[in-house]
Amino acid sequence: MTETTVQSTPLEQQILTREARIGVVGLGYVGLPFLVEKAKVGFHVTGFDRNEQRAQQVRTGQNYISDVKDEELRDVVERGLVDATTDMTRLADMDVIVICVPTPLDQNLSPDLSFVRSVTEEIARHIRPGQLISLESTTYPGTTEDVLKPILERSGLKAGQDFYLAHSPERVDPGNKRYSTKNTNKVVGGNDPESLRVAVTFYQQAIEHIVPVSSAKAAEMVKVYENTFRAVNIALANEIALLCDRMGLNVWEVLDAAFTKPFGIMPFYPGPGVGGHCIPLDPHYLEWKAREYNFQTHFIALAGETNRKMPEFVVEKAARVLNMDRKALNGSRVLLLGMAYKGDLDDYRESPAIHIYRLLQEASADVIFHDTWTPEVNEHGVVASSVDLTDDLLDTVDLVIITTQHSDVDYQNVVNRAQRVLDTRNATRTLSGKDRVVML
């Protein structure tokens, strides 16, 4: 029996020789790190973004994403490997186009694919035979096949025949010092076998390990499952925190002891809510899609409900803490430590601290915040600036709420000087003199 030899495509040859021109649409938390990684291995990469200021920053090597090293961006720009533009007609010059645009939810928690549709329609106007189009934006299973493919085929070209179409969901963990774009396993699914082969060849050039799956739809399901897994387990930890509050138990003590078991358990911790682009949003993509199949995703719905009510619980507990000193929430000065959704990160997208801030305002508290990582916030109706964390400030506020655990905060000094502290992150666990600290 003779083995069948698969003839490589011209695009695969261009990829292997680094002659393929790469376009990355969307230069945010996913797009910019991806652009830099591809340029580092010798590809010429053009970033596309509607924001001219952002494109100008990339062109001049000015970094604005913490997961990208300043010197690495400057290096690939100085070597002439990176460009950025708002001119979408240049998509026709690209051999590979990677879509990294936002996929938010609307006010009804339904998927908003307006950015994906807009970019795909733009690509369709400039598509040419032989290109690879890969969607990295997180979305519900079936988006690549049911949304992108029909739009692109309006051009008269056919996926799998005239161009290649794939989905490879981003796996970015902002602020993670161990796992980057390069060393995070990359799931890739194609519209057809040839599209999968070409896409795998492309991603192999800059990422250490590729995980091929049978279809773009399977790859989309992988991503939403990953984030749903986290959302459900965080919700369980949050529900245990609510129960421990009722029972007068320290939830952190309970969980730390439970996690000493060497098998059958995985650490997840409670907090003031969930933030970032993934955990608060992505599970609802799967929940929404499941309704098309007359299937109710009870775990996902309950997890979302539990996580969304945590900011309200924090504010309710803040009122109880103030009551210990015979103070009302109305009129009390409350300092939030941290507005980013994650420690040592400059990202406040969907941060629970934003919702806590707004709820405190609605309760007529005099609320302020300190965060050197996110000195300005503007989201969900909250527009505010960070204040300096001085001893005088700590001496005068009625309550400090630790909403984000940043390493640049002297929590011992906070505990020593503040009248009351509500710790939602277990940031004070190893500190002395905690008689004025109340845990979540």
CB-based contact 353:330 (threshold 8 Å): no
Could you tell me whether strands 164-167 and 82-85 are parallel, antiparallel, or unpaired per DSSP bridges?
A: unpaired
Of 64, 63, 81, 83, nearest to 73 by C-alpha is 63
Tell me how far apart the alpha carbons of residues 87 and 84 are, in angstroms, rounded to a whole number: 9
Q: What's the Cα-to-Cα distance from 335 to each of 10, 332, 352, 353, rounded to whole Å?
A: 60, 10, 15, 11
pLDDT of residue 6: 64
pLDDT in tens, 81-100: 999 999 999 999 999 999 99
pLDDT of residue 1: 42
Percentage of the chain modeled with pLDDT above 70: 99
Q: Is the pTM of this model over 0.85?
A: yes
Tell me how far apart the alpha carbons of residues 171 and 182 are, in angstroms, rounded to a whole number: 10
pLDDT in tens, 29-40: 899 999 999 999
pLDDT in tens, 372-420: 999 999 998 999 999 999 999 999 999 999 999 999 999 999 999 999 9
Torsional class of 175: left (φ above 0), alpha (ψ -120 to 50), beta (otherwise)? left
pLDDT of residue 5: 54
Model confidence at 263: pLDDT above 50: yes
pLDDT in tens, 305-324: 999 999 999 999 999 999 99
Model confidence at 171: pLDDT above 90: no
pLDDT of residue 283: 87
Model confidence at 173: pLDDT above 80: no
Model confidence at 27: pLDDT above 60: yes
pLDDT of residue 2: 44
Tell me how far apart the alpha carbons of residues 164 and 231 are, in angstroms, rounded to a whole number: 33
pLDDT in tens, 143-161: 999 999 999 999 999 999 9
pLDDT of residue 328: 97
Using a 10 angstrom Cβ sphere, with 0-12 exposed, 13-18 middle and 19 or more buried, the burial of residue 64 is: middle
Q: What's the Cα-to-Cα distance from 329 to each of 196, 326, 363, 387, 392, rounded to whole Å?
A: 57, 10, 7, 20, 21
**Residues noted as catalytic:** 278
Torsional class of 96: left (φ above 0), alpha (ψ -120 to 50), beta (otherwise)? beta
pLDDT of residue 94: 97
